[in-house]
Amino acid sequence: QVQLVQSGAEVKKPGASVKASCKASGYTFTSYGISWVRQAPGQGLEYMGWISAYNGYTNYAQKFQGRVTMTTDTSTSTAYMELRSLRSDDAAVYYCVRRSAAGTSQFEYWGQGTLVTVSS
Amino acid sequence: SYMLTQPPSVSVAPGKTARITCGGNNIGSKSVHWYQQKAGQAPVLVIYYDSDRPSGVPERFSGSNSGNTATLTISRVEAGDEADYYCQVWDSNSNQAVFGGGTKLTVL
């Protein structure tokens, strides 16, 4: 079965960077991309972008361009999301997600989330 | 960029039918997906491509999409259906997923 297991909670100071990981199992990692979605406390879901695990191609939401980098390590079936220059409003749970199948647009598989706290 | 509008809250008595709407400009021309998120948990896909159900999702959950409104319908509502519900589409202009603001379903 498809599983996405994310790294643990992080506490960062404003201006710092955070790098969350997402280890995939139960499928051929390079056959699907990984997207990242975040959720601030008490707020809704916000799409951040996508990375192809096949060739590393990325597509970031405009809001995060210049501040986010998504990468993958095919040797360990792990995806990473690094967000730089953290602000207080970046405090959120960050989810890695996978679509049902290539070419589809729904997010069927979700990691458990990584809580990022930004505090001085 | 494309925007989706959901009512902040919907309340329904057990056994009744809940309808949660998702408004967007000509949303009927897009594929709409719905997620259920219970407190402290990751979202779960409950409807995809307007009206399809993933395996394991009860038949009580159904969806429709036409014109400027998509609707998630939950029949014979149970206490366990209490959750936040989000609609989502893919915006081809910005090449990104767009989520509605979410609707909190309260079972009275």
> DSSP string covering A29-76, please?
GGGS-EEEEEE-TT--EEEEEEE-TTT--EEE-GGGTTTEEEEEETTT
CA distance A18 to chain B (A): 20
The mean pLDDT value of chain B amounts to 97
Query: How many Cβ atoms are within 10 Å of B108's Cβ, its own excluded?
Result: 10
Chain B contact for A110 (CB, 8 A cutoff): yes
Q: Residue A68 above 90 pLDDT?
A: yes
Q: What is the pLDDT of residue B8?
A: 98
The mean pLDDT value of chain A amounts to 96
Q: CB A49 to CB B90 under 8 A?
A: no
Chain B contact for A112 (CB, 8 A cutoff): yes
- pLDDT tens string B52-92: 999 999 999 999 999 999 999 999 999 999 999 999 999 99
CA distance B98 to chain A (A): 7
Query: pLDDT exceeding 90 applies to what percent of chain A?
Result: 95
In angstroms, the CA A38 to CA A116 distance is 10
In angstroms, the CA B78 to CA B56 distance is 16
Among A59, A104, A110, whose Cβ lies nearest the Cβ of B42? A110
Instruction: Categorize the per-residue pLDDT at A103 as very low, low, confident or very high, splitting at 50, 70 and 90.
Output: confident
Query: How many Cβ atoms are within 10 Å of B56's Cβ, its own excluded?
Result: 7
- pLDDT tens string B41-52: 999 999 999 999
Cβ proximity of B71 and B62 under 8 Å:
no
Chain B: residues touching A (Cβ < 8 Å): 1, 31, 33, 35, 42-45, 48-49, 54, 86, 88-90, 94-102
Beta bridge partners of B20: B72
Two tokens, residue B65? 């999409």
Instruction: Categorize the per-residue pLDDT at A101 as very low, low, confident or very high, splitting at 50, 70 and 90.
Output: confident
- pLDDT tens string A6-35: 999 999 999 999 999 999 999 999 999 999
